[in-house]
């Protein structure tokens, strides 16, 4: 059977460079080994078994998920050790128990006494055992209990008394995405580590074993200088990287494994615009790089070999139309490709861009497509 080539694909299409991806995975794996921790990759970025099996330590895991839909999908492919890293809600407990009935060891998290009481009631009524971590807040970014709060101990003691052993604590240094230098990321990694270890030590001093101490974000995982007291790291976007990570100097542009193939469909020559068939539905509305020193618009435009094209970006996007132009706004001398020409666009944020598609076109030698890998979405 003749393989497809890029020029034959209908666009927009989601492209995956497996050589870059494998290099990214090995970088994170080597970092986890160097620091002596387990890598529990977060699969919310890729949502594909073909990708995830390259990240896992064993065919059964461990992995981290952000939706129970992901947990279902990976469980159906034989993954048993799954951490659901979003605080549990009462209306999801029936789903959790269905996964348990399939032999999945699904670890839950929570960060309030209110949620702890709901879980304890369910455990009592359904005669169930739940694996549980308490989320702590290491940076004021999102969810979690203050590591120094009395609430941390109250939640843990309540759960233990209710017959739900607390396996440990979890934190996520989301503020690492706001750092302006790699030194700041290193400092954030140490802040994350110290907060997690401190919370675990407080629990142990109260007689709670706390065997799991889980941290993770791609920047802090890659730039942590030491992880004493930590048992596992979770990270996800490292598998593909993106322009936002490149803007943080976490990776280079040539490490980004994901791109969107688009086709030229028209021009507004007096404005220096080339119109593409990839708008914000293809790229997502994420404009995270607008806060960074280099604003990449809705994505950085590359040739079919993945090389950036003369400082061209998507300066604007409608639902199905992308506006390609020089980032400086110059009109004279700006590259305007002919109708039918194709380009590859690197995304600002790999997670929402990939979420627009149900499969990856995997790049082979030259411009060949060597495989199509399915991915899932939804909840």
pLDDT digits over 142-199, tens only? 899 999 999 999 999 999 999 999 999 999 998 999 999 999 999 999 999 999 999 9
Give the Cα separation of 44 and 42 in Å (integer).
6
What residues contact 263, with CB distance under 8 A and at least 6 apart?
Answer: 11, 276, 277, 340, 341, 342
Task: Out of 3.40.50.720, 3.20.20.10, 3.30.450.20, 3.90.1300.10, select the CATH number for domain 22-238.
Answer: 3.20.20.10
In what helix (H) or strand (E) does residue 84 lie, and over which residues does it extend? strand 81-87
Give the pLDDT confidence score for residue 223 in this predicted structure.
97
pLDDT mean across residues, the chain = 96
Closest CA to 325 of 338, 336, 339, 340: 336
Q: What integer pLDDT is reported at residue 40 of this predicted model?
A: 98
| pLDDT value of residue 58 | 97
Q: What is the pLDDT of residue 140?
A: 85
Domain locations along the chain: 6-12+250-374, 22-238
Residue 1 has a pLDDT of 56
Summarize the confidence of residues 218-247 as an average pLDDT: 97
pLDDT, mean of residues 1-22: 92
For 6-12+250-374, CATH gives: 2.40.37.20
272: pLDDT strictly greater than 90: yes
Tokens of 214: 């889980």
pLDDT grade, residue 310 (50/70/90)? confident
Cα dist from 256 to 103, 237, 241, whole Å:
36, 10, 5
Q: Please, which pLDDT band fits residue 334 given cuts at 50, 70 and 90?
A: confident
Residue 3: per-residue pLDDT: 82
Q: Tell me, what's the pLDDT at 8?
A: 93
Looking at residues 37-50, what average pLDDT do you find? 98
Q: Are strands 232-233 and 38-39 parallel, antiparallel or unpaired?
A: parallel
Same fold across 6-12+250-374 and 22-238 = no
pLDDT, residue 335, reads 78
Sequence-distant (≥ 6) Cβ neighbours of residue 269 within 8 angstroms: 336
pLDDT tops 80 at residue 108? yes
Task: Please tell me whether the overall predicted TM-score, pTM, comes out greater than 0.75 for this model.
Answer: yes
């Amino acid at each position: 059977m003749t393989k497809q080539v890029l020029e034959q694909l209908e666009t927009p299409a989601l492209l995956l460079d497996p050589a870059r991806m494998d290099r990214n995975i090995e970088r994170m794996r080597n970092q986890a080994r160097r620091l002596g921790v387990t890598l529990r990759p977060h699969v919310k970025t890729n949502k594909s078994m073909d990708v995830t099996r390259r990240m896992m330590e064993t065919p059964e895991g461990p992995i981290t998920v952000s939706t129970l839909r992901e947990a279902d999908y990976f469980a159906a492919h034989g993954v048993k050790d799954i951490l659901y890293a979003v605080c549990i809600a009462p209306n999801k407990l029936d789903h959790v128990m269905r996964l348990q009935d399939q032999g999945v060891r699904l670890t839950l998290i929570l960060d309030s006494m209110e949620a702890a009481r709901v879980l304890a009631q369910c455990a009592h009524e359904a005669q169930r055992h739940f694996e549980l971590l308490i989320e702590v807040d290491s940076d004021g970014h999102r969810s979690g209990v203050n590591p120094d709060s009395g609430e941390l101990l109250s939640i843990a003691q309540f759960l233990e008394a209710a017959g739900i052993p607390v396996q440990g604590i979890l934190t996520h240094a989301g503020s690492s995405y706001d750092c302006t230098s790699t030194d700041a990321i290193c400092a954030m990694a140490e802040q994350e580590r110290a907060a997690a270890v401190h919370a675990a030590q407080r629990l142990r001093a109260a007689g709670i074993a706390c065997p799991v101490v889980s941290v993770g974000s791609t920047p802090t995982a890659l730039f942590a200088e030491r992880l004493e007291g930590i048992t596992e790291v979770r990270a996800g976007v490292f598998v593909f990287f993106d322009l936002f990570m490149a803007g943080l100097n976490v990776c280079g542009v040539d490490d980004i494994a994901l791109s969107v193939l688009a086709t030229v469909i028209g021009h507004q020559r007096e404005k220096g615009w080339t119109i593409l068939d990839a708008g914000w539905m293809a790229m997502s509305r994420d404009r995270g790089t607008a806060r960074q020193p280099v604003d990449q618009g809705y994505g950085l435009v590359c040739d079919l070999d993945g090389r950036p094209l003369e400082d061209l970006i998507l300066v604007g996007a409608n639902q199905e139309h992308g506006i390609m132009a020089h980032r400086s706004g110059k009109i004279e001398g700006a590259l305007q490709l002919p109708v039918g020409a194709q380009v590859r666009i690197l995304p600002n944020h790999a997670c929402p861009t990939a979420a627009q598609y149900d499969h990856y076109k995997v790049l082979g030698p030259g411009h060949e497509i060597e495989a199509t890998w399915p991915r899932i979405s939804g909840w």
